[in-house]
A = this chain, B = another copy of it.
Amino acid sequence: MSSIRDVAERARVAVSTVSAALNGTRPVAADTRRRIEQAAAELGYRPSLLARGLQSKRTRILALLYPTPRSGFGLTEMQFATGAAEAARELGYHLLLSPEHAEPVEELRHITGLGLVDGVLLMEVGLDDERTDFLLEAGVPFSMIGRTRDPGSIDYADIDFAATAAAAVAHVAGLGHRKLAFFNLSADRHAARYGPAIRAGAEFAEAARAAGIGYVDDFRPGSADEGGQAFERLVAAHPDTTALAVMDDHAAVGVIAAVAARGWRIPEDLTLLLVLSSARVAEMFHPRLTTLEPPSAELGGLGARMLIGRLEGDGPPAQRLLPCRLVVGDSSAPPRAGERTGS
């Protein structure tokens, strides 16, 4: 690799002039600049990020902290990462993928202590997240994909659960349904104070209330089996339910099986919505499910942009909510006029 000295020698100028010419830090005579640029091009010169970073205390590297896949990392999470990486790249930054192990705060301390990264992007943010306390205290710039209960002036990009729930409710109400059930994420996720589980629950209830349709949300199935069971209990307790929104992919699988087992059909006997699942997953189902697809890549990109904005000293905190996109599949239809048949 050729260094700035090589360029300077070849262009017969001082290194400081090369630096100035290449960065536009101070005026350089047009002719000198030309010689320098040519020399740099001929040598294939690339300024060393390390040296530059050492000097300027800025590396243009961002760390994306991600929890080691628990039950499994979804497509959604992946898209946060790729979205963020993409946005970072566009702005001349790099994204470091940092797995969090047992002790997230330790991990943070480690990664920020190295002086390697300018800022941190947090994923899977809990309502109360100890990592934010640490970062705030340590004065490390960061932004969140998701948000804590009280984000204060921290930058974040999160799903607009209110708009998402409203869209879902409008969709089913528009089809003529009068009673909607909502299967939230598993009890585990609630116990972990997982924001999406809690916010979606609250917002669906509110949206149903506002729309004046019936609403049930006592279920939190986290697997196919639990999904099937929850569905059976739902039908037993609320036979007038004609539309169901499910947050957990696997639970949806169980619901579909249970529907078929009763001799019912989707969408004739039940309108089924997948909430916060990518359309790619929805396509795996047959019939193709209507889904509220989270704008994952956009959220990741926004998170990265916000962080960079902060690093480059922008203004007020950027806090953005993006609604899920309603992708209508073949699992939604008006409710059947008469009684449902089957067992």
Contact = CB atoms under 8 A, between A and B. Distances in A.
Nearest to A111: B94
Contact of A48 (B86, B98, B115): B115
A45 to B, nearest CB: 9
Contact of A113 (B46, B77, B113): B46
Nearest to A116: B49
A44 interface: yes
Nearest to A277: B284
Contacts of A1: 113, 115
Contact of A283 (B50, B75, B97, B250): B250
A46 B53 CA distance: 16
A106 to B, nearest CB: 12
Interface string A89-120: 10000111111010000000010011110000
A46 B96 contact: no
B50 A59 contact: yes
Contacts of A28: none
Contacts of A73: 75, 78-79, 82
Interface stretch (A64-72, A238-246, A332-340): A64-72
Nearest to A94: B96
A144 B66 CA distance: 24
Contacts of A250: 283-284
A342 interface: no
Interface of A: 1, 44, 46-51, 53-54, 59, 61, 64, 66, 68-69, 72-75, 77-79, 81-82, 85-86, 89, 94-99, 101, 110, 113-116, 224, 249-250, 253, 256-257, 260, 280-281, 283-286
